[in-house]
């Protein structure tokens, strides 16, 4: 059975101790947690990564968004780049131990990112999302076109729920990325289990 990826992204609204506590619950289910804390400085992000390791997460389960320097210093397993980050091929050349991800919004962006040495992609937003209010979702067909255009894993993001996960996988996604669905859950373990089970049904 194919193993699909489950990425959890921090929302910038939780305290470090809350993130660390939640991550320890999420660890058995998720591929990795993305430290996406734009308001925090390098030292704070580093300390959060260290706290996640202290809570039992493997280095492969820790991804730092944008800050390549912090990812290297914290010995995280991955870095997720944005448009203003260092170029993927430069990161790969100097820090070959890092798994490199990038967010894309079109087939063409995905192909360029793959050519630059990115290891996986986030594509979205696929469905209506709380974090993208007022912005039209891209939908399943464009997800399918993007996934078909590259050989690296495409992870779907935006409005992902356990009930629509199967549609994303059928459209070619190799995993899902979730923010609101996790951090607003009343029962974190139950919600994470629901996502994990939805990924295992395919």
Which residues form the catalytic set? 125
Phi, psi of 14 (to 5 degrees): -105, 150
**Which of 67, 66, 69, 155 shows the shortest CA–CA distance to 104?**
155
Q: Could you tell me whether strands 5-9 and 175-178 are parallel, antiparallel, or unpaired per DSSP bridges?
A: parallel
> 101 has which bridge partners?
80, 120
**Which of 179, 166, 120 shows the shortest CA–CA distance to 146?**
120
Tokens of 147: 């996934």
């Amino acid at each position: 059975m194919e193993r699909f990826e489950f990425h959890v992204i921090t929302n910038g609204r939780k305290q470090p101790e809350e993130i660390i506590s939640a991550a320890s619950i999420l660890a058995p289910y998720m591929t990795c947690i993305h430290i996406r804390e734009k308001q925090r400085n390098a030292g704070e992000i580093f300390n959060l990564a260290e706290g996640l390791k202290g809570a039992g997460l493997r280095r492969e389960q820790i991804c730092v968004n944008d800050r390549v320097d912090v990812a290297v210093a914290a010995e995280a397993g991955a870095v997720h780049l944005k448009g203003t980050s260092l170029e993927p091929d430069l990161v790969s050349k100097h820090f070959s131990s890092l798994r490199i991800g990038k967010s894309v919004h079109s087939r063409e962006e995905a192909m360029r990112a793959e050519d630059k040495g990115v290891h996986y992609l986030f594509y979205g937003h696929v469905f209506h999302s709380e974090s993208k209010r007022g912005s039209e979702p891209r939908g399943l067909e464009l997800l399918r076109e993007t996934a078909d255009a590259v050989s690296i894993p495409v992870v779907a993001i935006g409005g992902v729920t356990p009930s629509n996960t199967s549609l994303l996988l059928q459209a070619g996604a190799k995993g899902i990325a979730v923010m609101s669905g996790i951090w607003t859950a009343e029962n974190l373990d139950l919600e994470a289990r629901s996502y994990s089970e939805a990924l295992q049904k395919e």
